[in-house]
Amino acid sequence: MADTPTRPRDLNLDWGGVGGRNWVEAQDLLDQTFGHLEEHLIATLASGAQARVLDVGCGTGGTTLAVARRLGVRGTCVGIDVSDPMVTAARARAEKHGAAADFIQADAQAHDFAPDSFDLIISRFGVMFFDDFVRAFTNLRRAAAKGAELRIIAWRSARENPFMTTAEQAAGHLLPNLPPRGQPGGPGQFAFADHGHVHGILEESGWSGIDIRPMDFSCAFPESDLARYISLLGPIGRVLHEADEATRAQVIEVASAAFQPYVDSAHVRFTAACWLITARA
Ligand SMILES: C[S@@+](CC[C@H](N)C(=O)[O-])C[C@H]1O[C@@H](n2cnc3c(N)ncnc32)[C@H](O)[C@@H]1O
């Protein structure tokens, strides 16, 4: 008898399925919106350095490729991600651009990295989805060389990022299967909202010199991409394809209206309220 595919417990964490496929489809939009954040992750990396860099939760590899470009032929750059569709897309991109980046498809909290093998570990929004944060950051610390730097960008709270929940607040009631946001501190987009919680995780995982500072990034994408943004991203993007055509159209209409305060000169503009988290192994 054929296996019946099971629906994941929390669709917001379904990076191997609909979440990953949607991110691949939205890759250009996400790169355009968040591409400028990568500079803050590679700021300490000298051009042409010999560093070995790991990008955690690398997704479709935008940041990984930025690192590879910065390092040139002297360094090495590896992206790790649990999602098959996203790693496949990242590998294809690297090949297309002739970039010297390698990708591992694995769970970063359990992957058996060679010890002391990275000088810099970075992540753009890729470390908030682990089941066990201390296990994950302990595993990453073991993979880091002594004194290696950790540089992460993660979201602050949902309250400080009202843009991020606009669609579900306006149109979520139209979708009975909408996956609820996770518990505070549990895996999910806003898992790192609480500064003290993040500090505790890193300390318990053996990182030192921990610095967690707020950074506000101005982000924008063309208004013509708003419907695509609503359809593919966030909790709505996880279930919209299950709705009938009329419901889908209504969701887009209602959510688009709710985003109008963010529209200016044919662009959707918002502030990403984030933490820049740094530490040393
Ligand atoms: C919000 S996306 C960010 C992707 C990418 N860093 C970017 O900024 O475009 C989160 C990424 O974390 C990955 N991820 C989630 N859990 C993971 C795990 N346990 N190990 C490795 N990657 C994971 C997801 O597959 C997804 O690509």
The pLDDT assigned to 48 comes to: 76
Summarize the chain as % helix, strand, coil (round to 5).
40, 25, 35
Q: 3-state class of 191 per DSSP? A: coil
Domain borders along the chain are 11-157+183-220+273-280
What burial class does residue 165 get, using C-beta atoms within 10 Å of its C-beta: 0-12 exposed, 13-18 middle, 19+ buried?
middle
CATH number, span 11-157+183-220+273-280: 3.40.50.150
Model pTM? Answer: 0.95
Choosing from 78, 129, 153 the residue with most ligand 1 atoms within 8 A of its CB, the one to mutate for a pocket test is: 129
What burial class does residue 141 get, using C-beta atoms within 10 Å of its C-beta: 0-12 exposed, 13-18 middle, 19+ buried?
buried
Choosing from 29, 39, 41, 82 the residue with most ligand 1 atoms within 8 A of its CB, the one to mutate for a pocket test is: 82
Q: And the tokens for 271?
A: 């502030």
Residuewise pLDDT in 10s, the chain (281 residues): 445 556 667 888 899 999 999 999 999 999 999 999 999 999 888 887 789 999 999 999 999 999 999 888 888 999 999 999 999 999 999 999 999 899 999 999 999 999 999 999 999 999 999 999 999 999 999 999 999 999 999 999 999 999 999 999 999 999 999 998 888 889 999 999 999 999 999 999 999 999 999 999 999 999 999 999 999 999 999 999 999 999 999 999 999 999 999 999 999 999 999 999 999 99
The pLDDT assigned to 10 comes to: 83
The pLDDT assigned to 8 comes to: 64
- The closest-lying atom of ligand 1 relative to the alpha carbon of residue 30 is 9
The pLDDT assigned to 44 comes to: 86
The pLDDT assigned to 5 comes to: 56
Measured in Å, residue 125 CA sits from the centre of ligand 1 at 7
Cα–Cα distance for residue pair 29/10, rounded to 1 Å: 24
The pLDDT assigned to 1 comes to: 41
Q: And the tokens for 203?
A: 């300390």
Measured in Å, residue 126 CA sits from the centre of ligand 1 at 4
Measured in Å, residue 236 CA sits from the centre of ligand 1 at 18
